[in-house]
Amino acid sequence: MKKFFLLPLAFAAFGFASCSDEPLNAECDIESVTLGVDTPEEVFYHAYDATQSVPSTADSIGFLIRHYVNVESIPVNLTVTPGATVYVVGADGTESLFKNGSSLDFSDEQIQRLRVVSQDGAWSRSYKLNVVHDVPSEGDMTLDFETYDLDASGKYYIWTVTDPNAVNGLFGSGDPTWKNGNPGFKLSKSSAKPMDYPSVPLVGEGPDGSACVKLETMDTGAFGQMVNMRMAAGSMFVGEFDVANALKDALKATRFGLPFKHKPVKLSAWLKYEPGTKAFQDRMGKPVEGIADEPDAYLVVYRNQDAAGNRVMLDGNDVLTNPHIVGIARLPHHYVNPEATYPRDGGGDLESNDPIHGITSEWQQYVLDVNYYEELDPEILVNNGYSMVIGFACSWQGAYFRGSIGSKLYIDNVNVICEY
């Protein structure tokens, strides 16, 4: 009869069998690449340019080198997902095992192909790796938003710049595209069609009858609510959008500016604006009385390296206020300090019911002067030591998830005028 006493024991043993062996890693990313050159400052513009961290979405990794430098074989060090194996793919498709420190031939900007296979062997990713020579450029540029296409997933639009001064002088030939929050919106609204995104092209609706861009502040639905990000303001900017950290820290995920070797003095753009008809709302989605939404447009020039030689890249927290900023142009706004003209001396943006941005619902060209706090150092300028930001948003506090759903900013024919 004693066997009955063992019943509860048997039940317990059945259920609580210990955890099984850890599954092997399924991921196969290159997380960072370092090119092992002896004097990085002579090959690249900054010592830190010899190492690049690679976003999870990237499959093409380009290193910008000075236009007069010739490189051949360079030892390469990769950080990959633990347990993953890397192969170099030859021109004929044959693969050979890559080991950290192996030299790859980068002469004549030739592209090296790598394939990374996950620890569990079930997944692999292919990457392209090359060096790209910097191409000298003039300063002035026209950005007309005429060249756009769907992204690789076919979900949203991407705008490519075509003006050679913009491609070579600012955006870079490796990825000459405007950045915006569309990749983040895709996460929250998988069912959205390309024209349902916050940043979209409008064919034939520009002031000259060509295509323009429409930015709209949109509701992010149930998923946005899950992560306390209830809206997505349409945006267009020069820099990087780090979608990996868009949920973790949205302000940090928008990284502004790219190196520029000229002195911009004016930003001009054709704009029109329609404020959202829904009440201005805060991050929790609650309406805020007595606040009108406002659009934003700015150009910022900043020193991209600190005194210790570290990279400085502005993000959503400080794109208008970082002490490394040397010049700024922005649409007029109210600041906490009533005397302020620019955010740097403004003590913060002041939301109000009487905006002074001046953008109307009719197309009009606006010209903003760049106000410099200090003269640019020509030696630093020629060595890519300053970065330039151009940014547009349909809700000026959209980075903080504040604004009116439905606010719309239309943009076309943006020009940057440089003194030299």
Partner 1 sequence: MNLTKYILAAAFSFSAVVANAQEDSWAEWGPTNTSTNAGFIVRAGYTIGGTMPLPIPAEIRSINEFSPKGGATVGLDCYKMFSKRWGISAGWHFFYEGFHTSANVKNYKMSITMDGNTMGGYFTGCDVTNTDAWGMTIPVLATFRLSPRWNVSLGPYFTTYFKSSFEGEVYDNPDGVGYLRVDTPTGEKINMDRNNPATYDFKEHMRPWAGGIELAFDWKAMKHLNVFGSVDWGLSDAIEPDFDAVAFKMYPIYATFGVAYRY
Kindly state whether residue 190 participates in binding partner 1, applying the rule CB under 8 A. yes
Nearer to partner 1, 180 or 305 (CB): 180
* Among the listed residues 53, 57, 73, 360, the single contact to partner 1 using CB under 8 A: 57
3 binds partner 1 (CB under 8 A): no
Residue 8 touches partner 1, criterion: CB under 8 A: yes
Tell me the window of 131-139, 216-224, 314-322, 323-331 that interacts with partner 1 (CB under 8 A): 216-224
12 binds partner 1 (CB under 8 A): yes
Binding partner 1 (rule: CB under 8 A), the pick from 130, 147, 160, 245 is 245
Q: Is residue 38 a contact point for partner 1 (CB under 8 A)?
A: no
User: Least Å distance between CB 287 and partner 1?
Assistant: 21
Beta carbon nearer to partner 1, 5 or 68? 5
Question: What is the SS3 string spanning the chain?
Answer: CHHHHHHHHHHHHHHCCCCCCCCCCCCCCEEEEEECCCCHHHHCCCHHHHEEECCCCCCEEEEEECCCCCCCEEEEEEEECCCCEEEEECCCCCEEECCCCCEEECHHHCCEEEEEECCCCCCEEEEEEEEEECCCCCCCEEECCCCEEECCCCCCEEEECCCHHHHHHHHCCCCCECECCHHHHHHHCCCCCHHHCCEEEECCCCCCCCCEEEEECEECHHHHHHCCCCEECCEEECEEECHHHCCCCHHHHEEECEECCCCEEEEEEEEEEECCCCCCECCCCCECCCCCCCCEEEEEEEECECCCCCECCEECCCCCCCCCEEEEEECCCCECCCCCCCHHHCCCECCCCCCCCCCCCCCEEEEEECEECCCCCHHHHHCCCEEEEEEEECCCCHHHCCECCCCEEEEEEEEEEECC
Q: Nearest approach, Cβ of 34 to partner 1 (angstroms)?
A: 20
The answer to whether 258 touches 172, Cβ cutoff 8 Å, is yes
Among the listed residues 43, 61, 200, 246, the single contact to partner 1 using CB under 8 A: 246
Could you say which of 91, 97, 222, 284 contacts partner 1 (CB under 8 A)?
222
CB of 80 to partner 1, least distance (A): 13
Per-residue x/- track, 249-268, partner 1 (CB under 8 A): x-------------------
Instruction: Figure out which of the listed residues 47, 89, 243, 417 binds partner 1, where binding follows CB under 8 A.
Output: 243
**What is the size of the binding site for partner 1 (CB under 8 A)?**
50
Q: Does 68 engage in binding with partner 1 (CB under 8 A)?
A: no
Is 400 a binder of partner 1 (CB under 8 A)?
A: no
Q: What residues numbered 105-124 form the site for partner 1, per CB under 8 A?
A: 118, 122-124
Question: Is residue 2 involved in binding partner 1 (CB under 8 A)?
Answer: yes
Among 23, 82, 209, 290, which residue interacts with partner 1 (rule: CB under 8 A)? 23
| Interface residue list for partner 1 (CB under 8 A) | 1-2, 4-9, 11-12, 15-17, 19-23, 25-29, 56-57, 118, 122-125, 183, 187-192, 221-223, 226-228, 243-249
